[in-house]
Chains A and B, each alone.
Chain A
Amino acid sequence: MAAIVELNGIAAQFPGAEKPVFADIDLSIARGEFVIVVGASGAGKSTLLRVIAGLLAPSSGTIAHEIENRPDRREIAMVFQEARLMPWRKVSDNVALGLEGLTVSADERKQRIADALKLVGLADYGNRWAHELSGGQRQRVGIARGLAVDPDLLLMDEPFGALDAITRQSLQDELLRIWKETGKSILFVTHDIDEAVYLGDRVLLLGGAPAKVVRSYDVDAPRPRSREGEEVGRVGAQVKADLSTLFDEGGGI
């Protein structure tokens, strides 16, 4: 499989900090792959996504994109934990945010907004205000906003972390459907191990100070998966054991 983004020896350090947040990260994501990053809070997961999204310059290392660069799309799109909808925009205008800098005709823009909203099951919600939506619906709008720019890679930073368990499970299944339908690559951050092994092809455990990829797990379970499946449970137990060892060593906090 061709890598869509490849990180080589990436480190990030905030000005004034003694140590880098993470160092020496190598990571390669294949086209259509679903990769999960887990790790304790403060491990540097969000910072890693910011570096990949180009919002933060790495202090060393290189990032190579094997992504087709076209004026009518963005290579990478981000979905945040708190949905981050603009309250002064209708739902469809929120979805349009990323299209506004691209060369997309008015007709195509409309079409892409409609398609993205349909994909997340909100076809009839374009004319609502953000405050009229539930938490789960807001998060769907955040996903639609990412999909509307037709990225190859979707970066998702704990997108379901603030949702109740039932909504979270149904959004996980929605996301798997969207992933299958669109063939996008996804890099997904979570601290919920069950979510990680249910969704991912591959799970990376981030830990230490500065953080590095402590271990990588392949989840070889066929899809559609069962949450109680044997492979899913086995890898999940392994990740949890490693995470608590890391915690005891004091490296995770």
Chain B
Amino acid sequence: MSRRTFLGAGGLFAFLLIWELVARSGVVEATLLPAPSKLPATLISEVTLGFWHKMVLASLNHYLIGLISGSLLGVLVGSAVAMFPTLDAVQSWLARLLRPIPPLAWIPFAIIWFGISETAAAFIIAIGVFWINYFTAYTAVRAVDPDLIELAASFGHRSLGASLRKVIMPAAAPGILSGLRAGLGQGWMTVVAAELFGITGIGQRMNEAAGLLATEVVIVYMLTIALLYGLSDMLFVAAQNRVLRWQR
């Protein structure tokens, strides 16, 4: 085991230990800070009561729909805008106006338009993911070396489709993939907030539990999100490394 792994595990263990000691000492009330040793039992009860996988699946559903539609649209629109100067000019003020609006500020409209529904949650997630991908795809496509486009043209690949396939897509891939990865994280941040308004999912369950001061349930779902995020990021990076094998 390397020194780094050792210290990393040690740091985590020390954190849990101090947390446990503080919780047991009675300095803080048990409802304000549940001891970590109580968490496994809470998790088991959430699972056996059927809440855990119901909530995880519901959130995963919002997350995936929002993530996929936001990513696809963001990459498509961002790339198109980078390739066509007219579109670029048309979007320049519009994007500056709309992008700074935080995804959560769309919640009122999401609920007015879609009601307290799965669509509303997916919509809010999609908005945040969209802007991230819009700008990374835009930047990545803008940065494609025009010399390589000319090179491909000089060897017969002149149509827009050919330069997309031979040059623009592979050259912009690292940038676009890093945007997709950032969107993956951003999606998890918004999913919980979107569900706090009663849309079934992890966020809703957390809100319910907090109302009953069942703080150990809240923590179980906090850690569930950390786990889901870590897992999806790990899977994405593995796929990304395969696609970008050519990079050092």
Interface residues of A (CB under 8 A from B): 53, 55, 74, 77-78, 80, 82, 84, 86-89, 97-98, 100-102, 129, 131, 145, 149
| Known interface pairs A80-B151, A149-B155; 6 further A-B residue pairs with C-beta atoms within 8 A, sorted by A's residue number | A74-B156, A77-B155, A78-B151, A82-B147, A88-B171, A97-B157
Q: Does B36 contact A (CB under 8 A)?
A: no
Q: Mark each residue of chain B from 172 to 191: 1 if its CB lies under 8 Å from any CB of chain A, else 0.
A: 01000000000000000000
CB-defined contacts of A84 to chain B, threshold 8 Å:
147-148, 151
| In the bound complex, CA of A78 to CA of B248 (Å) | 28
Q: Does B127 contact A (CB under 8 A)?
A: no
Contact A101 B157 (CB under 8 A): yes
Contact A101 B154 (CB under 8 A): no
Contact A86 B155 (CB under 8 A): no
Contact B155 A88 (CB under 8 A): no
Q: A88-B170, A131-B248 are in contact. Are A55 and B153 (CB under 8 A)?
A: yes
Contact A101 B156 (CB under 8 A): yes
Q: Does B99 contact A (CB under 8 A)?
A: no
CB-defined contacts of A100 to chain B, threshold 8 Å:
155-157, 166
CB-defined contacts of B156 to chain A, threshold 8 Å:
74, 98, 100-102
Contact A87 B157 (CB under 8 A): no
**Option from A53, A86, A129 in Cβ contact (under 8 Å) with B170:** A86
Contact A74 B170 (CB under 8 A): no
Smallest CB gap from B247: residue in A: A87
Contact B148 A86 (CB under 8 A): yes
CB-defined contacts of A82 to chain B, threshold 8 Å:
147
| In the bound complex, CA of A149 to CA of B247 (Å) | 28
| In the bound complex, CA of A149 to CA of B155 (Å) | 9
Q: A80-B147, A89-B246 are in contact. Are A74 and B153 (CB under 8 A)?
A: no
From residue A20, how far is it (CB to closest CB) to chain B in Å? 21
Smallest CB gap from B174: residue in A: A88
| In the bound complex, CA of A86 to CA of B151 (Å) | 10
Q: Does B167 contact A (CB under 8 A)?
A: yes
| In the bound complex, CA of A71 to CA of B27 (Å) | 84
Smallest CB gap from B145: residue in A: A84
CB-defined contacts of A129 to chain B, threshold 8 Å:
246
Smallest CB gap from B162: residue in A: A101
The 8 closest A-B pairs by CB, nearest first: A98-B155, A101-B156, A78-B154, A88-B246, A84-B151, A88-B170, A97-B155, A53-B154
CB-defined contacts of B157 to chain A, threshold 8 Å:
97, 100-101
From residue A55, how far is it (CB to closest CB) to chain B in Å? 6
Contact A55 B150 (CB under 8 A): yes
| In the bound complex, CA of A80 to CA of B145 (Å) | 14
Q: Does B72 contact A (CB under 8 A)?
A: no
From residue A33, how far is it (CB to closest CB) to chain B in Å? 21
Q: Mark each residue of chain B from 126 to 156: 1 if its CB lies under 8 Å from any CB of chain A, else 0.
A: 0000000000000000000001101111111
| In the bound complex, CA of A88 to CA of B170 (Å) | 7
CB-defined contacts of B248 to chain A, threshold 8 Å:
131
Smallest CB gap from A149: residue in B: B155
Identify 21 residue pairs between A and B in the complex whose beta-carbon atoms are under 8 Å apart, listed by A's number. Answer: A53-B154, A55-B153, A74-B155, A78-B154, A82-B147, A84-B147, A84-B148, A86-B148, A86-B167, A87-B246, A88-B170, A88-B246, A97-B151, A100-B155, A100-B156, A100-B166, A101-B155, A102-B156, A129-B246, A131-B248, A145-B155
Q: Mark each residue of chain B from 156 to 169: 1 if its CB lies under 8 Å from any CB of chain A, else 0.
A: 11000010001100
Q: Which of B155, B157, B166, B248 has the most CB of A within 10 A?
A: B155
CB-defined contacts of B150 to chain A, threshold 8 Å:
55
| In the bound complex, CA of A82 to CA of B147 (Å) | 9
Q: A80-B147, A84-B147 are in contact. Are A97 and B170 (CB under 8 A)?
A: no
Smallest CB gap from A101: residue in B: B156
| In the bound complex, CA of A102 to CA of B148 (Å) | 19
From residue B248, how far is it (CB to closest CB) to chain A in Å? 7
From residue B40, how far is it (CB to closest CB) to chain A in Å? 47
| In the bound complex, CA of A79 to CA of B151 (Å) | 9
CB-defined contacts of A78 to chain B, threshold 8 Å:
151, 154-155
| In the bound complex, CA of A86 to CA of B248 (Å) | 14
| In the bound complex, CA of A78 to CA of B166 (Å) | 17
Q: Mark each residue of chain B from 10 to 41: 1 if its CB lies under 8 Å from any CB of chain A, else 0.
A: 00000000000000000000000000000000
| In the bound complex, CA of A101 to CA of B148 (Å) | 16
CB-defined contacts of B162 to chain A, threshold 8 Å:
101
CB-defined contacts of B148 to chain A, threshold 8 Å:
84, 86
From residue B171, how far is it (CB to closest CB) to chain A in Å? 7
From residue B146, how far is it (CB to closest CB) to chain A in Å? 11
Smallest CB gap from B243: residue in A: A88
